[in-house]
Amino acid sequence: MSTTTLERPVRTVAARVERPEPPSALSASLTLGWRSVLKIRRIPEQLFDVTFQPVIFIVMFVYLFGGAVSGSTTEYLQFVLPGILVQTVVMASLYTGISLNTDIGKGIFDRFRSLPIWRPAALLGALLADGIRYVVAAVVCLGVGMAMGFRPDGTVADVVAACLLVLVFAFSLSWIFAFLGLVMRSAGAVQGVSLLAMFPLTFASNVFVDPSTMPGWLRAWVDVNPVSQLVTAVRSLMAGAPDAGAVGWSLIGCAALVAVFAPLTVRAYRRKA
């Protein structure tokens, strides 16, 4: 029997087999997001900054400065815990850019480019997977605070709403760091620039002290600082008396961040990948 005769049935069978449809954008994003989750399972040290850092900050600021600032560590804990919750989750968002820059440097995204999937799926999957880090940070902050005596006046629904607002803000902010991770040359540079931007946002705010005692020029910045607006919103929600203005401005800030930096990040990703 000739080779041509043998090849005909094989070609016939191959022709009858339908190619699977490429995955949807959502499916591809979730699959690649799960890849990022598996990285956390293999390297749990990635969670050190969202597990140990909030513990250190809460204990240090409450017991070192609580008496001097509020006259009572218990009163200061009620004031500072929502702020540290915001600070911890927001600072966790800069890991997105570092991780993206590292993966691109290793050539991993070159492999994704060869797959028949929606091109930005790897980018969106990484952003979604970092939501787990934000949830861990929020749970640790609240757990440590409750163990030390923090008691929100609001209901459980109020506390959950406050945490969700922080998570949404962190996701929106992560687009900036993702953009930096795509345009900068090294992970070290991404980390340095990100921290340089985060320190005035988190420390020059109302996270740790009431801005009424600050100099006028500094208070002017604190009043318009988006992190200050977010902290005010979270405090009001946990107190059971939502500040509609602060909540509204926080949501507007989230929408503005995504509207500006999501297209820039996707465009930079398409060029890079």
> Quick one: DSSP state of residue 273?
-
Torsion of the alpha carbons at 251, 257, 258 and 259, rounded to the nearest 10 = 100
Distance spanning both ends of the chain, measured CA to CA: 49
d(Cα 217, Cα 103) in Å, to the nearest integer? 42
The CA R_g of the chain, rounded to the nearest whole Å, is 23
The pLDDT, as a whole number, for residue 272 is 67
C-beta separation of 149 from 59 below 8 A: no
d(Cα 140, Cα 167) in Å, to the nearest integer? 14
The pLDDT, as a whole number, for residue 260 is 95
DSSP 114-158: TSSS-TTHHHHHHHHHHHHHHHHHHHHHHHHHHHHT---SS-HHH
Would you state the structure tokens that stand for residue 98, as one six-digit string?
A: 């570092």
The pLDDT, as a whole number, for residue 14 is 47
What letter represents residue 217's amino acid? W
C-beta separation of 53 from 88 below 8 A: yes
d(Cα 269, Cα 113) in Å, to the nearest integer? 11
Output the tens digit of pLDDT for each of the chain's 273 residues. Answer: 455 554 555 455 445 556 666 666 677 777 777 777 777 777 777 777 788 888 998 999 899 888 888 888 889 999 999 999 999 999 888 888 888 888 777 777 777 777 777 777 777 888 888 888 899 999 999 999 999 999 999 999 999 999 999 999 999 999 999 999 888 888 888 889 988 888 889 988 999 988 888 899 999 999 999 999 999 999 999 999 999 999 999 999 999 999 999 999 988 888 765
Would you state the structure tokens that stand for residue 174, as one six-digit string?
A: 């992560």
Q: Where are the domains of the chain?
A: 23-205+214-271
